[in-house]
Amino acid sequence: MPSIPITNYISQGDHVWVDPQTGSEFNVEIGARVVATQTGQIILIDDNEQELKFPIQTKFRLMHITSIEGVDDMILLGDLKESAILHNLHMRYKKNIIYTYTGSILVAVNPYKLLNIYNIDYIRQYSNRKIGELSPHIFAIGDNAFWSMQRYQHDQCIIISGESGSGKTESTKLILQFLAATSGQHSWIEQQILDANPILEAFGNAKTVRNDNSSRFGKYIDIHFDKRGAIEGAKIEQYLLEKSRIVSQARDERNYHIFYCMLSGMSKEEKQTLDLTVASDYVYLNQLDGTIYCDSRDDAKEWSTIKSACKVLMFSDEELNDILRLLSAILHLGNLKFEATTTKNMDTCVVSNTNILRIISRLLKIDENGLSNGLLNRTLLAHGEAVITPLNQEQAFDIRDAFVKGIYGKMFIWIVDKINSAIYKPKEGAAYRKSLGILDIFGFENFQRNSFEQLCINYANENLQQFFVHHIFKLEQKEYDNEHINWKHISFEDNQSILDLIAVKPMNIIALIDEESRFPKGTDRSLCDKLHTNHSKNEHFIPRKTDNDIRFGIRHFAGHVYYDCENFLEKNRDSFSQDLMKLLQETKSKFLKNLFLSEFQMGTETRKRAPTLGTQFKKSLDSLMTILSACQPFFIRCIKPNEYKASDNFDRVLVCRQLRYSGMMETISIRRKGYPIRHLFRDFVDRYRLLAPGIGPSHREGDCRSAAEKICKAALANQDYQIGRTKVFLKDAQDVFLEQAREKVMARKILILQNTIRQWIAHRQFLAIRQSVLLIQRYCKSYRDARRFQIMSNGFTRLQTLYHTRMLTLRYSILRSRILNLQRFCRGYLARQNYRRKTKAIVILQSEVRRHIAQKQMRRYRIEEKMYHEAEQERYEEEKRLIPTLGVKRAKEEAERKYQERLRILQREILEQEHLEQQRAKEKRLLMERKTYTDDNDLFNTMFPSTGDERRTPVHRPTTSTAGGMQSTLGNIPQTMDTIERIDKPLPVPFQDEDLREYTFAKFASTYFQGNATPYFTRKTLKQPLLAIKSERDQLAALAIWITILRFMCDLPDVRTPNVLQKKQSIMTKIHSTLGRKFNKKDLEEAQKLNEAIDNQPPIPPTDNSLSLQTNNSLSSASNKTTSRSVKQKLVNMTLKRKSKLSTDAAMTRLKDLDLLSATQQIKMSGMNPFLEDRPTSNLEKLHFIIGLGIHVAELRDEIYCQICKQLTSNPSSQSIARGWILLSLCGGCFAP
């Protein structure tokens, strides 16, 4: 490209072009202003307000005067190139001027902020005005399109294009509002047309990374006018809805707005009828940590707007309810889970959550079993017979997603047709009607992975580019004709060959995709092979690099795009399971049946030959291009200034890329092949009059055209230029030549002018200096002395202030450092003392609970062994007695039969005894709950009898080591605890009287609890933690803690003890699980002797009801309790195994076990929480589990406190309240919230 004149004669204030500093294809020249040239280097300030420095000998291209001042119409730019257009847009954007013309094309830069330029005053201001009379505005495009239709009686269209987030949808709404306001009728039909937008946006728009309200479909709104110019109707055509968004979204994106508006705006009762909850509970709305909320939208408020718009557009209540039922069914279908199984060596699957399947069948009004079979099986016709093939898990998910996309796609088409039925009033016969169409279409797309949708979108943009270039070329030709320029035909880049490759010529890409889609054995790879075979030699086709690659590329007008053939055929077929289609024929929902009525009317074979998605899109696009070709077009190019949706942020590279891809640069290319440099006669004379003698400024010349011709003849002679009616048309080369000649003349005359001016200035300066120097000297000396004194005085004052400040700062730093050290040492000492005290107390709790377990198991094992022995002895005697009469074999069988019968009777008696013991314990517990007063100390001793007694009555034991290794520890605990209690006294804290009435638990719960959880007592299990917990493992632990707290407070029964009679193993084998390795025969004999002292006591039932029995036993005499306690403690110390850290770290051990297998996988395999025990646990074990998790997992501490407080609030049971307060106090002593 010929460059703008290069010069090194620049001065301060000149505007120049600076070459890009990087080699990116979208980095173009940037405008800059010279701010200094006297420092040995040139200092510039560019358009981004950045300072640039260059050597003094650097040459720059001067900026044309039109680029310096800026223009409303970029056709008037003298510098006809990308950088000049970008500079012009940038300068206007800084001034909040977002609209600029390029001929009849309006370039609109999204400001990302509200501008007060769309009110009724602006509508009146731009009515009945031609383009160019006022500053550029979108209302001017709407008004000129409207009056062109009225004046020439010809249909008009406005084509709005641009990237996502550039403002296309908002521009469409502004055009509609302007047309509704200027039509002058303000009728009901106008309100209906305006209210169609909220409904279409709800069902067809979604939040993306680039745009909070991105249109995921194309639409063409055709507005009809009568002879008076009043709106009498409209019709909406939709193109290529992005149905894949319904089942999957990228990170930080949302599904369609309607789902979130529905869940936010519906009442609780309405949700219950549809079994709906909140958006985060649905897989289709919460993927990849998806965004549930959108900051720029109020979903609840939008729901009210949508419902009112539906009323305006004649949606009945029944139809609206049917739509809500389908939307709810779609959400529930997304939550449907399939569990992989194997049947006859085939991978199959089953529905794991049948409750959701039941809800879906109710909402769709179809058979539940039929729906299950349709999702899990596929019916194929082979030789006229139906063959049912089960689907694996992945296929079942694909069938489900295709089913959902099919329902939503049909529903969206029905909604558009419903809107058209309200706003479209077809004319009969030859009645007058003209139309003005508005096209809001998706822009060019080129992602990291491009699929079938991108091919269709880019094909549409290729058609629009062809349409755009054709009309822009006509405008160029019209300007040459208006200026009476003799010119030859200008060739331009035509993208028709790209359209031929995609969809026009035989064996085009879309035709090959359709052909392969109809082959039963067609695959994505075979499609890629055919494309490569047929088009590898096409200049616009980019073949794959390797045979294993299933990608191909196309050289579009906007750049190279590579397409991945994966799922091309499936997306092009755009169908779902025939089994589900047959199921929909049997639905009792008339609305759902009407959606698929056209498919029902076709046979199976006809349905297979139905047009594919690509063919349908091509057909609709051809129809659209036919409509546009019959209209006079107006173009609006929407530009996105940055990727961050931020105001006052202009990304030059991004804007340049959009201008080039939108086709703006194609217009520049066309103009370059003509006469791109154009000067008005007045501007041309003022700039180049120095090149021809005898020509003055333009305001003195009467005929500027003659003066321009003289300049051209004198400077350009016979070179190629044109003189028009109002402008001089030049090639780039002539413009460069004129600039260079002008610089030479200017340089020669500037030297003469500089010499004269410098001499005159030097003489004037000498006279002024001589007259003023004496007076200045006198005043300066006086001022200097006063100034010196003032500076010295201020300096001493500041010095004193700084000295005092630094001394105070030093003292404060030393004092603060010492206090911090003292606090740290005190806290450390107190923490260590507290840790030692708690550790020893925990050892006491462990020893007592082990004693209790050992006693219970010993009694049970002794009884069972005795029963087994008696039964076996009877069997042996029975067998000996019957041998003489029945023979050995028969006698043995008869003895065995009676032996088994006695075992069953024995087992029944044991179960009855257990049931009787449980009934007694239940009655005693009810008796305890009816007491009006509960002593916390008695309850604590009942829960932990040995621990409580030891604290009140220390028992001194020998300090020698025992077999269990725990006796010396237990013997020294009381003295140690007393010592710790004397040492571990908290520091005195000054009392502060604070009003705590505002800090209520109910207020805290309403703020932080999840899932509508209440702060009040309940016996139900939680579905999710009360507080928000990120880790999935910690969430399961929190749910296990809740169940453990319910069991500890007797609000939930514990699990039953497994029947030990069914385990045929010896009593010694069972006892071995609790005996230590050092437990020898001598110790066993001593244990048996000690146990005789407590044989008379009744056995303790294995459930938590033993608390009531222990409470009654505590009423016995003090001497009996002391003796029993000593005997029991010694037996425990002799028999129980040592569990190194198992008691204190039980909860942490279960946490570490989950590292090998995720909690979710364990739930799928076992169906239960992996943290919960499958056996009865004592109160002490429950306490260890709760407090252990609180100590080791800091994220669960607040959850534990909230769960305990919830159970203590409005609890009707006094015993449960007492247990809860004990648990709360123990937690408070072990860890802080």
> Where is pLDDT greater, at 1223 or 933?
1223
Work out the percent of the chain whose per-residue pLDDT is above 90: 36
The tokens describing 9, both together, are 């004669």
The tokens describing 1230, both together, are 């072990």
User: How far is Cα 63 from Cα 82, in angstroms, rounded to an integer?
Assistant: 13
Average pLDDT score over residue span 457-463: 88
Average pLDDT score over residue span 1029-1037: 89
CB of 6 within 8 A of CB of 60? yes
> Where is pLDDT greater, at 751 or 669?
751
Question: Looking at residue 1063, what is its pLDDT?
Answer: 42
H or E, element range at 325: helix 317-334
The tokens describing 55, both together, are 């050597």
User: How far is Cα 649 from Cα 165, in angstroms, rounded to an integer?
Assistant: 14
Phi, psi of 214 (to 5 degrees): -80, 130
Question: Looking at residue 883, what is its pLDDT?
Answer: 87
Closest residue by Cα to residue 44 from 20, 13, 86, 77: 13
CB of 568 within 8 A of CB of 451? yes
pLDDT of 383 strictly over 70? no
Catalytic residue list contains 215: yes
Scan for tokens 């021809």, then name that residue.
692
Work out the percent of the chain whose per-residue pLDDT is above 70: 81
Provide the pLDDT confidence category of residue 930 given band limits of 50, 70 and 90.
low
> Where are the CATH 2.30.30.30 domain residues in the chain?
1-63
User: How far is Cα 528 from Cα 452, in angstroms, rounded to an integer?
Assistant: 13
Question: Looking at residue 475, what is its pLDDT?
Answer: 67
CB of 1001 within 8 A of CB of 1210? no
Considering the candidates 31, 78, 165, 971, report the single residue annotated as catalytic.
165
pLDDT of 690 strictly over 80? yes
Average pLDDT score over residue span 1123-1133: 43
pLDDT of 252 strictly over 70? yes
Q: Which residues, other chains included, contact 498 with Cβ-Cβ below 8 Å and sequence gap of 6+?
A: 462, 540, 554, 555, 556, 557
Question: Looking at residue 1067, what is its pLDDT?
Answer: 40
Question: Looking at residue 1162, what is its pLDDT?
Answer: 53
Catalytic residue list contains 78: no
Question: Looking at residue 1073, what is its pLDDT?
Answer: 44
What CATH architecture applies to the domain 1001-1054+1140-1233?
Answer: Alpha Horseshoe (1.25)
846 to 324, 712, 722, 809, 1075: CA distances (angstroms): 58, 109, 106, 55, 15
Catalytic residue list contains 291: no
Question: Looking at residue 1155, what is its pLDDT?
Answer: 47
H or E, element range at 34: strand 30-36
pLDDT digits (tens, 9 = 90+) for 1156-1173: 345 555 554 455 677 787
Q: What is the mean pLDDT of the chain?
A: 81
Q: Which of 63-72, 275-284, 441-450 has the highest mean pLDDT?
A: 275-284
Question: Which amino acid appears at position 753 of this protein?
Answer: L
Considering the candidates 142, 233, 443, 964, report the single residue annotated as catalytic.
443
Considering the candidates 172, 215, 372, 572, report the single residue annotated as catalytic.
215
> Where are the CATH 1.20.120.720 domain residues in the chain?
318-415
Question: Looking at residue 7, what is its pLDDT?
Answer: 58
> Where is pLDDT greater, at 665 or 146?
146
Question: Looking at residue 1111, what is its pLDDT?
Answer: 32
pLDDT of 1154 strictly over 60? no
Could you tell me which CATH number the domain at 1-63 has?
2.30.30.30
> Where are the CATH 3.30.70.1590 domain residues in the chain?
677-730
Considering the candidates 88, 164, 348, 461, report the single residue annotated as catalytic.
164
Considering the candidates 170, 368, 445, 479, report the single residue annotated as catalytic.
445
Catalytic residue list contains 67: no
- Mean pLDDT is lowest, of 271-280, 289-298, 867-876, 958-967, for 958-967
Give me the DSSP letters along 1022-1046.
Answer: PSS-SS----HHHHHHHHHHHHHHH
Polymer length in residues for the chain: 1233
Question: Looking at residue 797, what is its pLDDT?
Answer: 93
CB of 1026 within 8 A of CB of 1034? no
- Mean pLDDT is lowest, of 69-83, 643-657, 974-988, 1166-1180, for 974-988
Provide the pLDDT confidence category of residue 837 given band limits of 50, 70 and 90.
very high
CB of 550 within 8 A of CB of 436? no
CB of 1200 within 8 A of CB of 1147? no
Angle at 159 between CA 155 and CA 162, to 5 degrees: 180
Question: Looking at residue 1143, what is its pLDDT?
Answer: 41
pLDDT of 360 strictly over 80? yes
- Mean pLDDT is lowest, of 500-514, 936-950, 1186-1200, for 936-950
Q: Which residues, other chains included, contact 591 with Cβ-Cβ below 8 Å and sequence gap of 6+?
A: 318, 319, 322, 323, 326
CB of 3 within 8 A of CB of 19? no
pLDDT of 430 strictly over 80? no
CB atoms under 10 Å from CB of 746, counted, come to: 14
Average pLDDT score over residue span 790-807: 93
Give me the DSSP letters along 1044-1105.
Answer: HHHHHTTSSPPPPPP-GGGS---HHHHHTTTB-TT--HHHHHHHHHHHHTTTTSPPPPSSTT
Considering the candidates 161, 171, 211, 1178, report the single residue annotated as catalytic.
211
pLDDT digits (tens, 9 = 90+) for 295-344: 888 999 999 999 999 999 999 999 999 999 999 999 999 999 999 999 88
- Mean pLDDT is lowest, of 110-119, 826-835, 892-901, for 892-901
User: How far is Cα 976 from Cα 642, in angstroms, rounded to an integer?
Assistant: 71
User: How far is Cα 1214 from Cα 1017, in angstroms, rounded to an integer?
Assistant: 13
- Mean pLDDT is lowest, of 329-338, 463-472, 1033-1042, for 463-472
pLDDT digits (tens, 9 = 90+) for 1060-1087: 444 444 444 443 444 444 444 454 455 4
Average pLDDT score over residue span 1119-1136: 42
> Where are the CATH 1.25.40.530 domain residues in the chain?
1001-1054+1140-1233
* CATH 3.30.70.120 for domain 318-415: no
CB atoms under 10 Å from CB of 1088, counted, come to: 12
Identify each DSSP E strand in 383-431 by its residue range.
385-390
- Mean pLDDT is lowest, of 657-666, 946-955, 1210-1219, for 946-955
Q: Which of 870-879, 1125-1134, 1160-1169, 1213-1222 has the highest mean pLDDT?
A: 1213-1222
Catalytic residue list contains 169: yes
* Helix, strand, coil content of the chain in percent (nearest 5): 55, 10, 35
Catalytic residue list contains 1119: no
Q: Which residues, other chains included, contact 714 with Cβ-Cβ below 8 Å and sequence gap of 6+?
A: 691, 692
Mapped onto helix, strand or coil, the DSSP state of residue 222 is: strand
- Mean pLDDT is lowest, of 270-279, 692-701, 707-716, 753-762, for 692-701
Question: Looking at residue 1095, what is its pLDDT?
Answer: 45
Considering the candidates 83, 88, 100, 169, report the single residue annotated as catalytic.
169
Question: Looking at residue 280, what is its pLDDT?
Answer: 92
Scan for tokens 């092979």, then name that residue.
529
- Mean pLDDT is lowest, of 137-151, 745-759, 909-923, for 909-923
User: How far is Cα 697 from Cα 704, in angstroms, rounded to an integer?
Assistant: 9
Q: Which of 192-206, 384-398, 549-563, 975-989 has the highest mean pLDDT?
A: 192-206
Helix axes 1032-1048, 1197-1208, angle to 10 degrees: 30
pLDDT digits (tens, 9 = 90+) for 476-507: 777 777 888 877 666 667 788 999 999 988 88
Question: Looking at residue 208, what is its pLDDT?
Answer: 85
Provide the pLDDT confidence category of residue 1131 given band limits of 50, 70 and 90.
very low
Considering the candidates 214, 495, 941, 1091, report the single residue annotated as catalytic.
214
Catalytic residue list contains 1214: no
- Mean pLDDT is lowest, of 92-96, 408-412, 875-879, for 875-879
Which class would CATH give 677-730? alpha beta
Q: Which residues, other chains included, contact 625 with Cβ-Cβ below 8 Å and sequence gap of 6+?
A: 463, 467
Mapped onto helix, strand or coil, the DSSP state of residue 60 is: strand
Provide the pLDDT confidence category of residue 672 given band limits of 50, 70 and 90.
low
User: How far is Cα 1145 from Cα 343, in angstroms, rounded to an integer?
Assistant: 43
User: How far is Cα 79 from Cα 66, in angstroms, rounded to an integer?
Assistant: 8
> Where is pLDDT greater, at 183 or 1222?
1222
Catalytic residue list contains 214: yes
